[in-house]
Amino acid sequence: MVDVAVLAGVSHQTVSRVINGTGNVAPDMRARVEAAIERLRYRRNPAARALATSRSMNIGVVSYGLAQYGPSLALKGIADEARAAGYATSLVSLVDVDRVNMRKALDHLVADSVDGIIILAPIDAALTAIDGLDAGGAPLVIWQPGADEGEHRVVTDEISGARIATSHLLSLGHATVHHVSGPEGWLGTTARLRGWSSALSEHGVVAHPAIDGDWTTPSGYEAGLRLARDARVTAVFAANDQMALGVIKAMTDAGRAVPQEVSVVGFDGVPESAFFRPSLTTVRFDFADVGRRAVDHVLDLMRGADPAAPLRVAPELIVRESSTAVSPPSTTSHNTNRKTRT
């Protein structure tokens, strides 16, 4: 750092402010420091910084369900934001979530002297397992879909997202909306069920029983085949985009055109949803922002600040080709020999 300061013609305190992103540094001075860093190939020494700050410069993450789009993207957000702040991440991935395994995960991270811990396991079992456990004094932040804002948690407003998806279909004139839900035990499943049912209730529409899926495309396909047998089904809200893809395929295989006969809306906003056939109307969340907010919140707690609870990550409805207004009932014309499908 001293070598960088000498080459740039600034103090080593200025170099520190540029590296750590703290304090005001004049643009020309910042440019000189960055040029000197590049020329000298300077890299921070994590061990030296840990000694100077009494911190390990490491954030622990306890995860579950990384095969799913939301958790995997949130983990990327955590890693990117931590790296930008000069922190490494230590990951403990759980196969089974219970109190014993959660205790072992926390003990492992505490033994690594992490400065803070993020729980990236959006299932009921994780909330039960973590309740009352000590994290060795390290601040702890939990991702909790569907909850209210609160300190030590980052929230995605998935109840509102499901309500928006359902209301969108009802606004197109559909008499009701059928739901393919996620698996039991996931916080997102519960939140999306609540949003769907509350939207139907607000519109005075009776909710048919949801069909359970497991987040996968095959489970959406099986649910779609069941729904396709009922000619009264004209709108389906699937709890994620992969199951929505399965529903669309099932409807097509059963001779039900999407969206001409059945409108389908997904959830999550995976990038591939724009390339489904038809392209998928979906509710998008910035799950990477979940990770970024979790890191920012745990860093505030580490500094001893009294941070305000992070605002809920809001949903965005993306309307594409898979949803459309209800077509008026077809009638058979007496003036032609063409048969009209009803």
**220 and 271, same domain (yes or no):** yes
48 found inside a domain: no
337 found inside a domain: no
Q: Is 215 helix (H, G, I), strand (E, B) or coil?
A: coil
pTM score: 0.81
Asked if residue 76 lies in contact with residue 291, where contact means CB atoms within 8 angstroms, the answer is: yes
341 found inside a domain: no
Asked if residue 92 lies in contact with residue 105, where contact means CB atoms within 8 angstroms, the answer is: yes
Q: What is the pLDDT at residue 52?
A: 52
Residue 332: pLDDT above 90? Answer: no
More confident residue, 23 or 134: 134
Q: What is the pLDDT at residue 214?
A: 97
Q: What is the pLDDT at residue 55?
A: 67
| Confidence grade of residue 239 (pLDDT, cut at 50, 70, 90) | very high
Q: Which of 227-236, 298-307, 314-323 has the lowest mean pLDDT?
A: 298-307
Residue 331: pLDDT above 80? Answer: no
* Residue (of 204, 154, 169) closest to 310 by Cα position: 154
- The alpha carbon dihedral of 102, 194, 148, 287 has a sign of positive
The pairs formed by 130-133 with CB atoms below 8 angstroms and a separation of 24 or more are 130/102, 133/99, 133/102, 133/103, 133/106
37: domain CATH number is 1.10.260.40
Tokens of 236: 């389906």
**115 and 219, same domain (yes or no):** no
Cα distance between residue 90 and residue 332, in whole Å: 66
Of the chain, the percentage scoring pLDDT greater than 90 comes to 71
Amino acid identity at 191: A
151 found inside a domain: yes
CA distances from 116 to 36, 136, 138, 320 (A): 32, 10, 5, 41
Q: What is the pLDDT at residue 19?
A: 78
Residue 298: pLDDT above 70? Answer: yes
Mean pLDDT, the chain, integer: 90
Q: What is the pLDDT at residue 339?
A: 38
Range of the domain at 64: 56-156+287-314
When pLDDT is averaged across residues 285-298 and rounded to a whole number, the result is 95
336 found inside a domain: no
Classify residue 67 by burial, with Cβ atoms within 10 Å: 0-12, 13-18, 19+. exposed
**142 and 226, same domain (yes or no):** no
Tokens of 109: 């991270």
Residue 45: pLDDT above 70? Answer: no
51 found inside a domain: no
Residue 285: pLDDT above 80? Answer: yes
**138 and 200, same domain (yes or no):** no
**173 and 140, same domain (yes or no):** no
Query: At which of 265, 285, 305 does a domain end?
Result: 285
Residue 97: pLDDT above 60? Answer: yes
When pLDDT is averaged across residues 215-236 and rounded to a whole number, the result is 98
Q: What is the pLDDT at residue 62?
A: 98
**128 and 274, same domain (yes or no):** no
Query: At which of 236, 269, 285 does a domain end?
Result: 285
More confident residue, 4 or 320: 320
| Residue given tokens 């495309």 in the structure block | 217
**264 and 202, same domain (yes or no):** yes
139 found inside a domain: yes
**194 and 295, same domain (yes or no):** no
**166 and 150, same domain (yes or no):** no
**148 and 202, same domain (yes or no):** no
334 found inside a domain: no
Predicted confidence (pLDDT) per residue in 183-195, tens digit: 999 999 999 999 9
- The alpha carbon dihedral of 48, 52, 56, 59 has a sign of negative
Q: What is the pLDDT at residue 150?
A: 80
**91 and 28, same domain (yes or no):** no
Q: What is the pLDDT at residue 199?
A: 98
Q: Which of 17-26, 61-70, 197-206 has the lowest mean pLDDT?
A: 17-26
Classify residue 100 by burial, with Cβ atoms within 10 Å: 0-12, 13-18, 19+. exposed
**61 and 146, same domain (yes or no):** yes
189: domain CATH number is 3.40.50.2300
Number of domains in the chain: 3
